[in-house]
Amino acid sequence: MRKRIEDEFTKLQISRQRKYQLRMQRDKRCTECGEPAVQGSRCLKHLVKARERQRRKRGLKRRYYGTLSYKLQGVTA
């Protein structure tokens, strides 16, 4: 029988998804797709997605072009 993968999260009473997110964070990977994270816990693609979601939620009109995710996207004002 194959040995199960065990790490510091295995025994925690949290959902599988949460464990996945914690492992991704520990390994500096995007918590949504597992790609290498560029900032915090997200890859560029999901960083942009999260940013756009925030914008809609807050109803922001202007864009902050100094923000890292814009720089990485190659967007200039």
Catalog residues that contact Zn ion under the rule CB under 5 A.
Answer: 30, 32-33, 35, 43, 46
- End-to-end CA separation in angstroms for the chain: 58
In the bound state, the residue with its beta carbon closest to Zn ion is 30
| CA distance linking residue 50 with residue 67, whole number of Å | 13
Q: Select 12 or 52, whichever has its Cβ closest to Zn ion.
A: 52
Q: How far is the CB of 9 from Zn ion (least distance, A)?
A: 20
Q: How far is the CB of 44 from Zn ion (least distance, A)?
A: 8
Contacts of 37 (CB under 8 A, 6+ apart): 24, 28, 29, 30, 43
User: Shortest gap between Cβ of 30 and Zn ion (angstroms)?
Assistant: 3
